[in-house]
Amino acid sequence: MGIRERLSGNEAVAYAMKQINPDVMGAYPITPSTEIPQYFSAYVDNGEVDTEFIAVESEHSAMSTCIGAEAAGCRAISATSSCGLIYMAEMLYVAASDRLPITLAVSCRALSGPININNDHSDAMAVRDAGWIMLFAETNQEAYDNYLQAMRIGEAVGLPIMVCQDGFITSHAIENIELVETDKVKAFVGEYKPQHYLLDPSERIAVGAYATPVYYMESKRLQAQAMLDAKDVIRSVANEFAQMTGREYGLIEKYKMDDAELAILLMGSSAGTAKEAVDQLRGQGKKVGLVKIRSFRPFPTEDIAQALKGVKAFAAMDKDDSFNGHCGPIFAETAAALLAQGVSGPKAISYIYGLGGRDVRVESIQHVFADLEHIAATGDVGETYRYLDVRE
């Protein structure tokens, strides 16, 4: 049986880090992720972990520290948010291209400007093409569980991985949570045994930072293959985790989708609000459902196409705007996924919501379903690019 606790999402992630006991943490504070290195530094100071905690002068340096440590054969971790993640951006690409399975906790927060410290997904979405695996959590429990699974996933395919949760909404709110016993965590995560690392005395190698056109494209193709391979690894690790805990995860979660005619897609903590809206509408006899995206990278193309192929209309809801003039990133990825899988039936609209911490209520989600109901009944999609609960 697990250990019953009440923790914030940040503390739950820090506790997962403690249970894993990584080799190196490169850390620089930024709201709302500051608590993660703060909690973890206390574990270091108390001698509860053997981790080398390196406090640096910037987020760029924090990721550089992780890159150096991981390249030398160590398990390396960090945590950040918002502009800190963007300040890391150059090194995020280096970590991915060097195939270093760093684990990064991200408490998602709006980007400047104007300055805003509240939640949306603009920080994570800004680096979605950096080559990192990206998992999103709905609850504190899922943030903890995702972190326990993350290292297994990243190390299996040789890619860095972000474990994202919603700043303040889950990062600071306290919820009931079930922790896994530490001995089970250590057995589940296992030891890190990298191949061809820089400080291996039995295999002395040198690695150059520059790739000519003869090699560059092939290296990117290998990165792409690793991301494709990650889908099966995420499923496999989740299955093993379910056997240990009884908590089941996949690339997506389908909520009341078996006979749904109308659906919304989103990710993060808003899924809880959406589930309540679905329950209320189901009580009125409406066939509505929800697809929650857990893995944004790799994007669950086949899973989403399968989930949506029977619906009449759906809305992709983004806590970020790509500013491309027609949709957010979830809509763009979903539309591409349906086209690639030959699914052409559903009508679709894109909703931008929750920017800068704008509250999303059950009534807000029900408004989206009302729009979908009108579209399904009339066939008139109207404006496909919409903002939810905004003062026009």
- pLDDT (tens digit, 9 = 90+) per residue, 264-278? 999 999 999 999 999
Task: Round to whole Å and give the CA distance between 157 and 62.
Answer: 23
Q: 1 pLDDT exceeds 80?
A: no
- pLDDT (tens digit, 9 = 90+) per residue, 14-38? 999 999 999 999 999 999 999 999 9
Q: 72 pLDDT exceeds 90?
A: yes
Of 59, 66, 57, whose CA–CA distance to 25 is shortest? 66
Q: 392 pLDDT exceeds 80?
A: yes
**pLDDT average, residue stretch 387-391:** 96
Looking only at the bridges linking them, the beta strands covering 295-297 and 174-179 are unpaired
The burial class, CB within 10 Å (0-12 / 13-18 / 19+), for 127 is: buried
Q: Distance between the two ends of the chain, CA-based, in angstroms?
A: 52
**pLDDT average, residue stretch 180-190:** 98
- pLDDT, residue 198, reads 87
Chain position carrying tokens 């009944």: 377
- pLDDT, residue 199, reads 86
Counting residues of the chain whose pLDDT is more than 90, the rounded percentage is 95
- pLDDT, residue 31, reads 98
Hey, what amino acid is at 150?
A: A
- pLDDT (tens digit, 9 = 90+) per residue, 315-345? 999 999 999 999 999 999 999 999 999 999 9
The residues, ordered by sequence, that sit 6+ positions from 247 with a Cβ below 8 Å of its Cβ are 141, 145, 178, 241
Q: 301 pLDDT exceeds 90?
A: yes
* Domains of the chain with bracketed CATH: 3-245 (3.40.50.970), 252-387 (3.40.50.920)
DSSP 181: P
Kindly report whether the global pTM for this prediction surpasses the value 0.75.
Answer: yes
Three-state SS annotation for 284-323: CCCCEEEEEECEEECCCHHHHHHHHCCCCEEEEEECCCCC
**What's the pLDDT band for 204 if we cut at 50, 70, 90?**
confident
**pLDDT average, residue stretch 212-227:** 96
- pLDDT (tens digit, 9 = 90+) per residue, 132-156? 999 999 999 999 999 999 999 999 9
**What's the pLDDT band for 298 if we cut at 50, 70, 90?**
very high
**pLDDT average, residue stretch 89-101:** 97
Pick the more confident residue, 366 or 203. 366
Contact 260, 288 (CB under 8 A): yes
The number of residues in the chain equals: 392
What's the token pair of residue 370? 């009302």
Phi, psi of 175 (to 5 degrees): -135, 160
The rounded mean pLDDT for the chain is 97
The residues, ordered by sequence, that sit 6+ positions from 309 with a Cβ below 8 Å of its Cβ are 343, 345, 346
- pLDDT, residue 355, reads 98
- pLDDT, residue 34, reads 98
- pLDDT, residue 207, reads 82
The burial class, CB within 10 Å (0-12 / 13-18 / 19+), for 139 is: buried
- pLDDT, residue 164, reads 98
Least confident of 61-70, 194-203, 278-287: 194-203
Q: At what angle do helices 9-20 and 35-45 cross, to 10 degrees?
A: 40
